[in-house]
């Protein structure tokens, strides 16, 4: 998808900052205005939880007792506040536990960004421990989903996730991030998205005038 960012629109440049993928995810959530998120930790998402610890005074994490509860809590938050709800889960059964809530958000037009951890990119497709094709599982019940295999793709994915979740008919978006992408370091620049060329959430309605049929 070809996009146009706020940075490009305003003609402003940003200075890159070196950080890990996990820190980049947390920073991106903060830039999008997230102040509270709901989740349950697990092995494949632990780097993100380590990053959350350093910003716990700014970004509040609500620990639930089950991943489905995290999704439903994020739904309730979104409906009450009008903001995008954010939930975070781990790979495998952690991600599949979230499916019911994601489907409910899709049906009820609730804006959600669901972040799932995933096994390392070199293990994808090998039936590794707690590997599930969560992108394939959730494709029919999300507005958009995307698997991140490189740390530098995290800002790209999060910016589009929030834009798609809240625009047009709101709904859930899932971002699946491999564990090695959470550990890897890169030069971080975030560009919030305001337009995606191939995504038209509010199409122009052309009113057709019916021509009078000849007698």
Residue 212 pLDDT class (50, 70, 90 cuts): low
Beta-sheet strand order (sheet of 112-118) = 60-63, 36-39, 85-89, 112-118, 172-178, 144-148
pLDDT of residue 201: 83
pLDDT of residue 33: 96
pLDDT tens for 140-184 read 999 999 999 999 999 999 999 999 999 999 999 999 999 999 999
Share of the chain above pLDDT 90, in %: 80
pLDDT tens for 10-58 read 334 578 999 999 999 999 999 999 999 999 999 999 999 999 999 999 9
CA pseudo-torsion sign 152, 7, 163, 98: positive
Of residues 129 and 211, more confidently modeled: 129
Q: Is the pLDDT of residue 99 over 70?
A: yes
pLDDT tens for 67-90 read 999 999 999 999 999 999 999 999
How many angstroms separate the CA atoms of 44 and 47, rounded? 8
Number of Cα atoms under 13 Å in the Cβ half of residue 213: 1
pLDDT of residue 127: 87
pLDDT of residue 10: 39
Domain annotation for the chain: domains and CATH numbers:
35-188 (3.40.50.970)
Residue 206 pLDDT class (50, 70, 90 cuts): very low
């Amino acid at each position: 998808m070809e996009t146009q960012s706020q940075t490009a629109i305003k003609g402003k440049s940003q200075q890159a900052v070196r950080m890990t993928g996990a820190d980049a995810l947390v920073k991106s959530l903060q830039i999008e205005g997230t102040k509270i998120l709901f989740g349950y930790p697990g092995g494949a998402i632990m780097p993100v939880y380590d990053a959350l610890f350093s910003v716990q005074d700014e970004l509040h994490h609500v620990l639930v007792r089950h991943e489905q509860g995290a999704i439903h809590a994020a739904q309730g938050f979104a409906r009450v506040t009008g903001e995008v709800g954010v939930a975070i889960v781990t790979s495998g059964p952690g991600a599949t536990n979230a499916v019911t809530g994601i489907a409910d958000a899709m049906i009820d037009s609730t804006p959600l960004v669901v972040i799932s951890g995933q096994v390392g990119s070199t293990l994808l497709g090998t039936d590794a421990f707690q590997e599930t094709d969560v992108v394939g599982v959730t494709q029919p019940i999300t507005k958009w989903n995307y698997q991140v295999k490189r740390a530098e793709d995290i800002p790209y994915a999060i910016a589009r996730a929030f834009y798609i979740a809240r625009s047009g008919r709101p709904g859930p978006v899932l971002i699946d991030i491999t564990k090695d992408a959470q550990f890897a370091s890169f030069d971080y620049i975030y560009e919030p998205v305001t337009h995606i060329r191939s995504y038209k959430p509010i199409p122009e309605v052309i009113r057709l005038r019916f021509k009078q049929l000849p007698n």
